[in-house]
Structure 1
Amino acid sequence: MADLEDIIEAIDHLRPTVPRIVVAITGFGGAGKSTLSRALVEAVPGSVRLHGDDFLDPMRSHLRSRDWDGVERSRIRSEVVEPFRRGEPAIYRPYDWNVGALGPLTTLPEATVLIVDAIALLHPELEGCFDLTVWVDVDLETAAKQGIQRDRQAGSDHDALWDEVWVPNDREFAKTYDPIGQADLLYRAN
């Protein structure tokens, strides 16, 4: 089981041979992906975070799907990862949840390490995109409880979505794609 220092060491190990490193931080909804990603951005010089919720289709992410097709993986690849790898500006339109539509064009800040945190990243559509993959290793039940609590604290009642859509989607995705087995590192917060 990896800790924060192990992930930082793995990134540092890649620096001599990979000029622009892309790291996937993934796991079940509510597992703590964003918390880990923020800690990495603070600890890893030259890093920037891409928040996966900016690439969720608001309609499809609220529907049952065995492959979490509400995650716009093709946009992550074409608008951010590929330009980042080429050293070009990554310009994308994050989803604006307040207005219910794609927001204004946003340019990813210059960096040498891109940390992408989202559900369902370890999928064939993103094969070859990541230099390091990290699974936030929290069991589905615990992750869902954490996610529900987080949403309630933010004033959102998504309990039915968690029970009827998001947990079943996570379960099916894990069964279909084995993201835990694909990950380079398994991380569990202390």
Structure 2
Amino acid sequence: MNIHYGLRETHERYEQLRSIAREVTQESLSDLYQDHANIRLLGIDAEAISASEAWCDMACSRPRAEWSWQEASAEYRKRYPKRFELSIWHQGHLCGLSYGRPSFGKSRMRIELIEGAPRSGNPLGPRRVVPITIMNATAYAGILGAKELRIMRPAQPLIGYYESLDFTYVPSTGAQHFPDYLYKVIR
């Protein structure tokens, strides 16, 4: 068997699973938001990357991370075919991007990064980007059989917000491979 063919099959299989998770989440939005028909959930593609570059030009109420979604997502795609990834759109405006990955045994799903568009360009705002991301990560985790969802390296000011969403905070042990995180058991 050609190793490149096997890798391509793996990528395609997990993209199908991510697509199913997005469809399930999309359907769930109708129960939560009146404007659900205006929200689209997609993977992270060239259009999402291009739209995220415009975030740097918007008047931000907070400093934006000094890194590139294009570089980060390309590396993540290559290293983690089973990855979680999501772009959230509202009427053609990119509102949020996130990615993560399952643990090697698939018992946990890690959300590595959630970033929302600056408030001035985000019709959904952070109070909807984060819950939609969590819903989608939970759906994907469920498909993979994970029993726990984690948010890795949370920004200190957001810990209380995540705790209000039923996550439990676990501070870092100080060891390099044991960062702060929040977790929630998936039922």
Q: Give the TM-score category using the shorter length.
A: under 0.3
> Under a length normalisation based on structure 2, what TM-score does the superposition of the two structures give?
0.26
TM-score w.r.t. the length of structure 1 is 0.26
The higher relative CO (CA closer than 8 Å, separation ≥ 6) is in 1
Structure number with the higher strand fraction is 2
